[in-house]
Amino acid sequence: MSVTLKPKILFVGYGHLAKSLISKSFLNQFSIDSINSKNQFYSLNSKKLVQRLSSSYKYVFLLIRPSLFYEKGSDFNKYLDSKTIVVSCMAGVTINRIQEKLDTKKIIRIMPNVMAKQNASHTYVYVKNKKLINNLFKKILKSFGTFHMSTQEDEMNIATALYGSGPAFIAYLVNSFLEAGKNISPKSKINEKDIINLFKNVISLNDSSHKLDGFVQSIASKKGTTQAGVNFLKSQNLKKIMYTTLHRAYKRAKEISIEKQGHK
């Protein structure tokens, strides 16, 4: 009986994002090695240190800080051969900048988020050579969740702000709401799960901006409690705060693309 070998993948870097990509589905379909910051080689399938890496990888994922890539990116050429496809998860680093360090044009940029392990990421993808997005690579993307093909590379910067950093912004907002609920009456016992379920229920019933606007209007009766709170949010220009938050993340992604080697 013949044995089908799993395609081999190398993770360059094994930090929080890298760990968040490793779902059971991903591991079942691929043989994945990693290199950590201590230059230790690790098999993610066997969960053991290995003495040396494979001589050939189908995909090499770049999961390191952009500053480290600008400093040491050329060193990663030793992990590539003529058939290797580079998959960059680095925020802001354009394909042209990657090509300055690596001797290949087989490069795909993706922007997943930390919910990929739960198959809940919405991943943006940009590539110059669309032939690189074959059925095998689509299996990888589907193991993360849903995906969207970008037509312009700047969309990756937008995706970084919305989908890469966005989960942290949303978590911060929800947690602020939780803390505020507790502080209104410190003696009352607010159940955090009830509040989190409140967020889930509102979103599940209103899946568009139009529905959300209508939902607010349906509750905010004239001179009532809801209107008092909503009017305060408007007076603090919450929409501008959210826009500025996303724009600063987007702007930072664009800045990374033009930073020079050695920038901290």
Torsion over CA of 149, 155, 158 and 159, rounded to 10 degrees? 20
Residue ranges of the chain with per-residue pLDDT less than 50: 1-3, 262-264
Task: Kindly report the pTM of this predicted structure.
Answer: 0.89
For the chain, domain boundaries: 8-150, 166-253
Structure tokens at 6: 């799993």
How far is 36 from 78, CA to CA, in rounded Å? 16
Nearest CA among 162, 74, 180, 86 for reference residue 126:
86
CATH-assigned architecture of domain 8-150: 3-Layer(aba) Sandwich (3.40)
Q: What is the third-level CATH fold of 166-253?
A: ProC C-terminal domain-like fold (1.10.3730)
Contact predicate 174/199, CB 8 Å: yes
**Residue 52: per-residue pLDDT:** 80
Decide if 8-150 and 166-253 have a common fold. no
Q: Is the dihedral of CA 226, 172, 61, 25 positive or negative?
A: negative
Question: In DSSP terms, which residues pair with 107 in a beta bridge?
Answer: 86
Q: What local confidence, expressed as pLDDT, does residue 27 receive?
A: 93
Could you tell me which residues come within 8 angstroms of residue 84 by beta carbon, excluding any fewer than 6 positions away?
Answer: 56, 57, 58, 59, 60, 104, 106
Q: How far is Cα 90 from Cα 64, in angstroms, rounded to an integer?
A: 7
pLDDT of residue 260: 63
